[in-house]
Structure 1
């Protein structure tokens, strides 16, 4: 059971046989950022409230476990430079500048030259080739690190990890970049997908024939679509086939992090808790059965990295070891993880961050009948709330357009909704064909090049006159030549 009155204020409560297993109750500040979470239920060691702090850019700067002033091993503190690289971090305190902190130094490419006394190394393509890696047994940042050598192919996909002369793991990928084969020692695992959601895996050890190890059942993820959020929060069940057939059911917090795996009788098979950046702080999975954890992504048991699809993520450093495949269109810092705002944002596939939706999401079209009521004067008049994911785009009175239009969208990428929105817009405009200019253009907006329509929240549909020369839109229409590269509606209601 999941109570979801609005995910920023969500109260996920999971029940088994009528009894609450785990409960997460969130509080938000005046900016809509999650500020507190109170956890309770028999899956937890004890009820507790954690308080989070943010800087002016919405970056996580403090995590105060149990909401007290005394030091706690689960407390965290972070400080960043102007582009989002860590300058200091600390465990056991909320003050990143306190004694015992860890200092970071980033170069002009936003690659870390040093983390404490360790010196990471990157290749010419920006991939981490020498880094500190950790086993999946790492709990609350306690465990043994090793200096790993990472190998990448020409498409910047991780292919091999070594610890000195020992090969820890090798990986192979298909044409979509999905990892389809992993080998650790003599054990080989093959992966089968629907999109980027894993459907099952087969294992083979030595010369034995491949045998099905586990299968996965998926439902709607946080986007209320099958894969709009990259499957985050959408895993319904996992069936482990060997040594005996057993089904487990995951439960979640409001950000799509797996909290428990429940057996069919409702008992807790495993319980996990995480810090803001995804480091495991509580792990009761003594048998190591479950790798899907933070953000509903699988944790690598030999590297401590989460596999997101397009990239691997390191929760210890809170960043990606490789550059963003969509380059600066995903943000100016190619290694940053969700803008250092992991408590109300997720990354779908290692490619694009999205704001966790507040409520069910959707869109709304409104027509302003009276053009005299418009007072919009700015080109590209829109508002976009990165904290909540609310997008509002307003048409403006440009050379005869009198059909006012506002789109409000709460949720993730608009690509799943675009056909519906386009049809609604066309219907609205065609109903006013007699008063429209000769041609208007339907297209998508890139806000400062930061939000890709097909990948990130912030895309949208906007209408404008083909005669307008001031509108700043990338790759949709060349107003100097008049070349239209988007659907056009004329007064005769036909679509070119």
Structure 2
């Protein structure tokens, strides 16, 4: 097997050292880059308080520095409140954050590292306790500003007619206002509109007069309409400009066709057909441009090994990517058999990339091909070859060097045929993991001065300053600094309350003529407007087809200002690689628009197009993300610098991906991807290849498609506990042992395998408890408790018997196995394989020891679709149904448990405190239960959310 020497991994186990409480106090890794070299022992040290809470972690690099300099601090220090929640988090990368919760455990006051005070207000105790507002105050401000206001629907007939009773119907946030106008009976969003703030206006929703707030908003209102089937699968979506997307599914609920109707035009097909394997993996798809893509998988591991894209009308294959892996799932070569081997300047140039790793699975060497005139990689983008010409490609080799903390410190590039040889040096702070390009400073002691207290970089390159808002989101980049200041070239951004980028404005000054390019981001639609000092020069709508199989389809529709050498309503099918990077663009006839290949950390190596105009309209590139004029990639939660392979700011999720808050995908960028800027995964790409039916579940901030009003309560990132080693040698275990796990026998979907997670420098990323994780409990005090519950539902009992004999299910149901898997994370068995994407995403924010309170907040403060909500109060209407809906009585006997220290503790007398959740099971163990539910809310008016189906045998009709 290529690029693999087994001797490299000999005597490089991962060792975990436990104290007498079963807590991991040392993680020991052995690093080696050559088979004959001596391994470097790297020890990550952890300390705990008397309660067993992790209160200190330090990586090998900083520990070594601390031996000669006592002023060096650990990577993280934590302090906890009396309930065990993080009270103060001090990070060398992200600064010091203090979070105070109220008596109900909800976040009340947060003081960020930059000194911003955030205060949240909730409803009074006599009401459900929902969030009402968020106020923020910077150190420079004398009073606070209310940056978010939430308006909740009442119980009027008009509101109930649209299923809005009890819903957040208006959310005024940092971008403007989102209005929820109609919900379906299943809780999916039928109609929603947004209205942005005036460009010069900052969010400040003070007072109670909404009329005053309206004066802060721009005139344009953007409305998105959707329809769904009875299962909650999206059928049609009409965007803010009247373009309609239509989707269809097979009997298994998997996507098998999609269509697009531009406003005022006839419908056109986007996906003609899709074929899946028995494991649910995509095998073949045919698009509206008659291009066919076929997938092949390794039989033993189900890893993707081939992607072939071709036209059926001729013999030419457009793309034929072949992947080869090492035994643990690292990609070691990618070959494009659709391309021919070329010869240039007496060298053989093959369409192949190879990759070499160290004993910690960090990429240390890569080879491939690049354009002969590419030059040194920087924030600037290379010009494409026009027309496409692959005769002037040359070979390159790149080597990567990392320090003992996992920081990329050097990129050496060599291209002998063109003498394009250079080294990119990165200067890392001697006190943190903050780092910058060495052209900014070569002194490690000066690096921290180039960041603010929260770990946000203040300078991109020399002369380009960065400004951040109160929430740690990039607000402005100064592209060109001029003496007068007001005429600086700049690009600035605006985000919604849940972190989605809603607006991008690029302002440039040239020859006494100001030009402004404005991009408004809406569900499946981008509005791109270009204006000069006197007129609008371009009005472009970019329609993104949300479900186009593997290809991301974008349609360019000009209202005005269309360039001459490009067709209006041009369809651009983008075909990507394993990590989602856009490599091939085809038009509606299957003809090549552009081709692009990338260096491992995201720079462009090859870039060819059939004309310059079409090339200029490609915005989605590396990892399927948008590249801005700054050269940065926008991922959702963070921005990424591809020329140095680092994030621009510290990880807002804390230690979810280890102690180094700037490291990109564990220094393994060919195998892993980061879907939103929080942590790496391989599951995201595989999930895209096994696409199931589409619902209105909230997408990640970088890829919003059908966004409901999303209320995400900010909480302090919890420390991820050190994880135990499960193997001393490379195995086929999945990354982190908590991301994807090999499917057990009997499962219908086989998950692909990925690199073993215990080979990662100073890593405590994917939490795994050091405590006992058995769900069994002693028989002491075990007895069932009788529950009488009520559910309002527009379906009569007779209709339930005839059409829904299985009982009440969630809109996005978990089967029994998945529900057991989900519940088991609260007792230390953190296996998220095959769970829904949004469920996994929320689990990842809960830290090493998720609590039932986390699940309760998730259900109450988000539009969760994976539970069935009922109440023990007969006057409570469940699920937003109208008062005239049939009421169903549910009787069942269940065991009730608290979870303390990740162990089930029986509660035979039930809960004694309001809003303190408990777990309900029909057997004493999670792994044998067929009914699993969360009991939360007031003690005498319990709110119960079922993870499993409510059997109809327990249901009877009830008269009001």
TM-align CA RMSD: 4.5
Hey, what does 1:150 align to over in structure 2? Answer: 466
Residue of structure 2 equivalent to 1:22: 319
Residue of 726, 741, 750 corresponding to 1:391: 741
Match of 1:5 among 274, 278, 296: 296
Give, in angstroms, the shift of residue 270 of structure 1.
Answer: 0.8
Question: Does the 8 Å CA contact 2:369/2:605 hold for their aligned counterparts?
Answer: no
- How far 1:264 sits from its partner (Å)? 1.8
Question: Match of 2:124?
Answer: none
- 1:405 alignment counterpart: none
Alpha carbons of structure 1 residues 220 and 33: separation in structure 2 relative to 1, 3 Å? farther
Partner of 2:352: 49
Q: Residue 115 of structure 1 aligns with which residue?
A: 438
Q: Per-residue deviation at 1:266? A: 1.8
Report the Cα distance in structure 1 between the residues aligned to 2:824 and 2:368, rounded to whole angstroms: 52
Q: Does 1:38 align with 2:335?
A: yes
Shift of 1:259: 0.8
For 1:397-476, list aligned pairs within 5 A: 398-399=776-777, 420-421=813-814, 423-424=816-817, 443=826, 453-455=840-842, 466=897, 471=902
Do the aligned partners of residues 350 and 455 (structure 1) sit closer, same or farther apart at CA in structure 2, a change above 3 Å counting?
farther
Cα pair distance change 1:31/1:169, threshold 3 Å? same
What secondary structure does 1:339 align onto? helix
Q: Where does residue 281 of structure 2 map in the other structure? A: none
SS at structure 2 position matched to 1:283: strand
1:58 to 361, 376, 388: 361
Q: In 2, distance between residues paired with 1:462 and 1:382?
A: 24
Match among 346, 350, 355 for residue 673 of structure 2: 346
Q: Distance in 2 between matches of 1:208 and 1:159?
A: 26
Residue of structure 1 equivalent to 2:475: 159
Which residue number in structure 1 is paired with residue 516 of structure 2?
187
Superposition deviation, residue 160 in structure 1: 1.9
Task: Confirm or deny: 8 A CA contact 1:12 1:252 kept in the other structure.
Answer: no
Q: How far apart are residue 191 of structure 1 and its match? A: 1.9
Deviation at 1:115, TM superposition (A): 2.0
Shift of 1:155: 1.5
Distance 1:494 1:327 in 2: 30
Q: Is the 8 A contact 1:355 1:457 kept in 2?
A: no
Correspondence for 2:653 among 326, 343, 361: 326
Length-normalised TM-score, structure 2: 0.38
Write the mapping of 1:210-221 to structure 2, written as runs, cut at 5 A: 211-219=539-547
Deviation readout 1:274-299 (Å, 9 max, x if unpaired)? 01111001111433120111111111
- Residue among 591, 597, 609 paired with 1:273: 597
Contact 1:382–1:393, Cα closer than 8 Å, also in 2: no
Match of 2:17 in 1: none
User: Alpha-carbon deviations, 1:152-188, whole Å to 9, x = none?
Assistant: 1112222222233232322222333314232232223
Which residue in the other structure is 2:460 paired with? 131
Distance 1:486 1:40, change over 3 A: farther
TM-aligned CA deviation for residue 315 of structure 1 = 0.4
Change over 3 Å in CA distance of 1:129–1:397 after alignment to 2: closer
Contact 2:401 2:410 (8 Å CA) reproduced:
yes
Contact 1:28/1:34 (<8 A) preserved? yes
CA contact (8 A) 2:352 2:368 kept: yes
The whole-number CA distance in structure 2 between the counterparts of 1:40 and 1:101 is 31
Q: Distance in 1 between the 2:607 and 2:919 partners?
A: 53
Distance 1:465 1:150, change over 3 A: same
**Alpha carbons of 1:332 and 1:447: their partners in 2 closer, same or farther (altered >3 Å)?**
farther
The question of 1:235 aligning with 2:235 is answered no
For the 8 Å contact 1:393–1:462, the answer to whether it is kept is no
How far 1:203 sits from its partner (Å)? 0.6
Which of 90, 95, 98 is equivalent to 2:412? 90
Aligned pair partner of 2:493 in 164, 171, 193 = 171
- The match for 2:662 among 331, 335, 355 is 335
What is the aligned counterpart of 1:253 among 577, 598, 603? Answer: 577
Say yes or no: does 1:105 pair with 2:406: no
Distance 1:14 1:109, change over 3 A: same
Q: Tell me the distance in 2 between the aligned counterparts of 1:190 and 1:171.
A: 10
Name stretches of at least 5 consecutive residues in structure 1 with no aligned partner: 133-145, 222-232, 363-378, 402-416, 429-439, 474-480
Q: How many residues are aligned here?
A: 411
Cα distance, 1:237–1:258 mapped onto 2, change above 3 Å: same
Select the residue among 527, 530, 533 that pairs with 1:204.
Answer: 530
On the 8 A contact 2:491/2:504 being kept in 1, the answer is no
Q: Which runs of 5+ in 2 are unaligned?
A: 1-291, 343-348, 371-393, 483-487, 509-514, 692-722, 728-732, 745-772, 780-809, 832-836, 853-894, 905-911, 925-930, 936-960
SS of residue paired to 1:12: strand
TM-fit CA distance, 1:42: 5.3
State the distance in 1 between where 2:896 and 2:351 align: 56
Q: Kindly tell me: are residues 316 and 263 of structure 1, through their superposed partners in 2, closer, same or farther at Cα, counting changes over 3 Å?
A: same
CA distance in 2, matches of 1:205, 1:44: 46
Q: Secondary structure at the match of 2:306?
A: coil
Partner deviation per Cα, 1:363-415 (whole Å, 9 max, x = no partner): xxxxxxxxxxxxxxxx99999611895326997473469xxxxxxxxxxxxxx
3-state SS, counterpart of residue 390 of structure 1: coil
- Per the TM alignment, residue 304 of structure 1 is displaced from its structure 2 partner at its CA by 0.9
Q: Secondary structure at the match of 1:2?
A: strand
